[in-house]
A and B are shown apart, each in its own frame.
Chain A
Amino acid sequence: GAGVSQTPSNKVTEKGKYVELRCDPISGHTALYWYRQSLGQGPEFLIYFQGTGAADDSGLPNDRFFAVRPEGSVSTLKIQRTERGDSAVYLCASSLTGGNEKLFFGSGTQLSVL
């Protein structure tokens, strides 16, 4: 596609529910990142994929958060037993390969946990 696509753009859920957030990176980009942006804050790193494998998941806050990228393209961020504190904009970004090449961000998914 022309850019990084994230769906849904908005997700409202109830405390305790399970949610999945999807990211379609730019075609051919091997590196994929998830960030989380809370209100009034800058983006915070969650996880980095190189191909199908998670190269760095040190930013995942706890074991309720999990992400996959089974075929090296689309990625899904999964959050179990959601809490109100999980409410934030979840950003996905991709770059052609690893390293500090230009990072392309999607518009994000606004997650609201009621």
Chain B
Amino acid sequence: AQSVTQLGSHVSVSEGALVLLRCNYSSSVPPYLFWYVQYPNQGLQLLLKYTSAATLVKGINGFEAEFKKSETSFHLTKPSAHMSDAAEYFCAVSPYGGATNKLIFGTGTLLAVQP
């Protein structure tokens, strides 16, 4: 069965520091992987997605993620955190490849950015 595990329910970084949010996946088929962000009082927004093309995926707001099959990981990074990055981040996997947007989400990581 497909699943994702997000390590660290809360991550705190200083403004300007590297952001690293961890996601490991389990999938019996080649996975489609996603990162979503949820700002306070807003709906989930797609940050980026991996669909078996390039292993390094660039998303919005300076975020990127690298698909590493050997490590079954899809960690999210940003070189320099901004106060506006404070939000909850969800990793997700699609169990049907590109067939639908039926997604399995992780439990989320709440990112705090300290001034």
Contacts and interface: CB of A to CB of B under 8 A. Distances in A.
Interface string A90-109: 01010100111111111110
Interface stretch (A14-22, A37-45, A61-69, A72-80): A37-45
Task: Say whether chain A's binding surface is mostly helix, strand, loop, or mixed.
Answer: loop
Contact of B100 (A40, A100, A102): A100
Contacts, number: 67
Contacts of B26: none
A3 interface: yes
Interface in B52-108: 90, 92, 94, 97-108
B44 A43 contact: yes
Given A42-B107, A100-B32, A33 B43 contact: no
B102 A56 contact: yes
Nearest to B51: A100
* Residue of A40, A55, A100, A102 ringed by the most chain B CB atoms within 10 A: A100
Interface of B: 9, 32, 41-46, 49, 51, 90, 92, 94, 97-108
Nearest to B38: A105
Given A4-B43, A107-B42, A107-B43, A45 B104 contact: yes
B43 A100 contact: no
Contacts of A59: 102
A24 to B, nearest CB: 13
B46 A103 contact: yes
